[in-house]
A = this chain, B = another copy of it.
Amino acid sequence: MTVLDPARSGQFRTAAQHASRRVPIAQRDELASHVLDAMRGQHYESAAAVAVLDGDRLVGLVTIERLLAAQPTAPISLLMDANPPVVASSTVQEQAAWKAVHHNEPTLAVIDEGRFAGLVPATALLEVLLTEHNEDLVRLGGFLRSASPAQMTTVEPVLRRLWHRLPWLGVGLVGALLAAGIVGNFEADLAEHVLIAFFVPGVVYLADAIGTQTEALVIRGLSLGIGVRRIVGREIATGALLGLILGGVSLLLVGSIWRDWHVALAVALSLLAAASIATVIALVLPWGISKLGKDPAFGSGPLATVTQDLLTVMIYLITASALVV
């Protein structure tokens, strides 16, 4: 397993941290009315569902709604969902919340090495989903990680807005100067063939757009506990194919519009290369940063974009100067 296995990296809160044992518990042969009687006077953290145990092993869940609707003499084993949504105690919190939603259950059972470890209440599941949502937008949007939830950001005063945004823009400014330095290395080629300069913004934009799509998938995947390894093959193939399609179309269009097939070929080849590389960066940067012990979130959004832009500019100018001059 890599460090990116979210359940094992320290950066992700797990289902166990939200599980409560202050929930109703019953044995499988108890009757519905007995279980309901026994619940009275108890102080539960969540009474949304009754955990049915056999020793310390979970055998099913009964929602409070189903328990109330049942015949008083019905045994709990006939009422319970014998295949309830269950997660391991190490499951990443958002993955756990996702599982509950897809079972249409307001609660989730947590199992630790086969033993019942508690139920995650609906309030905890709701908070997890809201927090993760805010975090993802903060990441992709290029805000300082300490930014308050986006709801706050939406109405916060101008000076705090500046504070949350300037750090990443500062990184962007350094990137912009580096890009100028890269272009400067090809000054002579550009002076001779100005046409090369025409396609710098477009090639950079397209490589960026492909990288952003991959980032959105990686961020979503990481939150849900889907490791980069599971998507890396398909993503790289998709990136290369997108580069091939966009490169092919732009070869024909640039060539026939601007009547310079050398520059057209340079645009096409660099789109192919840049699209493939943008995908790899969007996949690898979060991974590399987590290897350094930092939050992989820093590898998405602005940092990935700056890195991609610099590489794309370099690839395009190297290709163009090789083909044209």
Contacts and interface: CB of A to CB of B under 8 A. Distances in A.
Interface of A: 33, 36, 39-48, 64-65, 68-69, 72, 97-98, 100-101, 104-106, 121-123, 125-127, 129-130, 132-134, 136-138, 140-143, 150-151, 153-155, 157-158, 161-162, 165-166, 168-169, 172-173, 175-177, 179-181, 183-184, 187, 190-191, 194, 197-206, 208-210, 212-213, 215-217, 219-221, 224, 226, 230-231, 234-235, 237-238, 241-242, 245-246, 249-250, 253-254, 257-258, 301-302, 305-306, 309, 313
A168 B209 contact: yes
Which of A133, A153, A226 has most chain B Cβ within 10 Å? A133
Copies in the complex: 2
A209 B179 CA distance: 15
11 contacts: A44-B68, A48-B122, A100-B126, A129-B133, A150-B221, A154-B226, A154-B230, A169-B246, A172-B209, A173-B253, A209-B305
A198 B184 CA distance: 6
A138 B180 contact: no
Given A141-B213, A158-B237, A205-B306, 5 more contacts: A97-B130, A98-B151, A200-B200, A201-B313, A209-B305
